Amino acid sequence: MIEKLDAIGSQALKDLETAASLDRLEQVRISVLGKKGALSEVLKSLGAVSAEERPKIGAVANEWKRKIDAALELRKAQLDKAALDVQLAQERVDISLPARTPHRGALHPITQTTQRIIQVFSRIGFDVVTGPEVETDYLNFEAANIPADHPARDMQDTFFMGPGVVLRTHTTSVQMRMMRAQSWPVRILCPGAVYRSDSDATHSPMFHQIEGLWVDQNVKMSDLKGTLLFFAQELFGADAKIRLRPSYFPFVEPGAEVDVSCFQCRTKISPTCRVCKGSGWLEILGAGMVHPRLFDVAGYGEDYRSKNLTGFAFGLGIERIAMLLYGIPDLRLMFQGDVRFLNQF
Ligand code: PHE
């Protein structure tokens, strides 16, 4: 019996030493030490052995069991370590690789320009007011002194939404809403999208405007000029100049177009300047003194006549300012959503 045990034991040790996986290890364990394993089967016949032989055989069996347990443990540790080494090699992280930079969003040049302009005017007391883009014909046109048969309607190719309803062609409509809703003084800035049926490199059917309105007693043309000069110098540099050219808008009288000196040419006008085309001036906005008819619509008519209530208004296209500030050659680039373009701002 001892020979049998020795044979089983040494075979088991050999099998364990060469076991290539944890599964194989478990197979060997069960086949030797399991309930029906070889060692257990031998010990079942222990009853047939004489009383003095029995302890000897028991001791041999226990010794083999101990050796086999030790061998199991050793081999298991070796296999575990090998598996870990493989895993570590596979999952190796190269910490010297450059990190993947996350995609950061940025504010659209129109948003940035809008914010810059608002910042400038808020420093001199203008509040921002917004209104609807779908507007009544009345507030967009009639209230701003542009009656149905007025030729000035042709200046703004209108999108009609239905009888008496349009897509606003300027944010003058917001000024009219504001004045009808509250009393003077009014000092507001109205940014927002406006719509005109027009499309080329410098016109888009949807674009953005900021219009300003200041109504109070004794607001003068010189206040308008001073305000716009402040604005121009804040936006284009301290040496910027402005000039006013007489112009016509139905909602102001007198009206003017306002130019700012070319920030590219600075002191010496270059005949080949890309920005001003050699003129030295850039047209940036329309402005003027609020037409008295608008005060009647607003309910300010009495104060206009008895309290010297006056006001000025101005309006500018944000895309045009952004194109000038950032040197953008084509307006349409702003609406194509191309990240290669947008990432530059
Ligand atoms: N509403 C004018 C336009 O859209 C701009 C403007 C506003 C001109 C105020 C003069 C005074 O063209």
Burial environment of residue 151 by CB neighbours within 10 A (0 to 12, 13 to 18, 19 or more): exposed
Could you give the C-alpha distances from 93 to 80, 86, 100, 114, in angstroms and in order?
21, 14, 14, 46
Question: What's the order of all strands across the beta sheet hosting 127-128?
Answer: 127-128, 186-195, 206-217, 309-317, 281-290, 252-261, 242-247
Q: How far is the CA of 249 from the centre of ligand 1 (A)?
A: 7
For ligand 1, pick from 150, 207, 249, 285 the residue to mutate: most ligand atoms within 8 Å of CB: 249
Look at residue 156 in the predicted model and tell me its pLDDT. 64
CA dihedral (106, 107, 110, 116) positive or negative: negative
Residue whose CA is at the smallest distance from ligand 1 atom 4: 170
pLDDT truncated to tens, each residue of the chain (345 aa)?
A: 888 889 999 999 999 898 888 899 999 999 998 888 888 888 888 888 888 888 888 888 889 999 999 999 999 999 999 999 999 999 988 889 898 888 777 889 999 999 999 999 999 999 999 999 999 999 999 999 998 888 777 666 888 898 999 999 999 999 999 999 999 999 999 999 999 988 877 788 999 999 999 999 999 999 999 999 999 999 999 999 999 999 999 999 999 999 999 888 877 888 888 778 888 898 999 999 999 999 999 999 999 999 999 999 999 999 989 988 888 888 888 888 888 888 888
CA-CA distance, 23 to 304, in Å (whole number)? 99
Quick one: which atom of ligand 1 is closest to the CA of 255? 10
Domain ranges across the chain:
2-90, 109-342
- Taking every pair of C-alpha atoms in the chain, what is the biggest distance, in angstroms? 137
Residue 286 Cα, ligand 1 centroid: separation in angstroms?
A: 5
Q: How far is CA 92 from CA 81, 86, 88, 95, 96, in A?
A: 16, 10, 6, 9, 12
CA 288–ligand 1 middle distance (angstroms): 9
- This prediction's pTM: 0.70
Distance CA 50, CA 46 (A): 9
Expressed in angstroms and rounded, the spacing between residue 23 Cα and the centre of ligand 1 is 85
- Residues 345, 341: Cα–Cα separation, whole Å: 8
- At 155 the pLDDT is 61
Architecture (CATH level 2) of domain 109-342: 2-Layer Sandwich (3.30)
306 vs 292: CA distance, rounded Å: 13
Dihedral angle computed from the Cα positions of residues 234, 235, 236 and 241, in that order, rounded to the nearest 10 degrees: -60
From the CB of 324, is ligand 1 less than 6 Å away? Answer: no
What span, in angstroms and rounded, lies between the C-alpha atoms of 245 and 33? Answer: 107
Q: In ligand 1, which atom is closest to the CA atom of 314?
A: 9
Q: How many CA atoms lie within 13 A of 129 on its CB side?
A: 23
Establish whether residue 285 lines the binding site of ligand 1, counting it when its CB lies within 6 angstroms of any ligand atom.
no
Q: Is the CB of 211 under 6 A from ligand 1?
A: yes
Say which amino acid occupies 46.
L
Q: Report which ligand 1 atom has the smallest distance to the Cα of 212.
A: 9
Burial of 27 (0-12, 13-18, 19+ CB in 10 A): middle
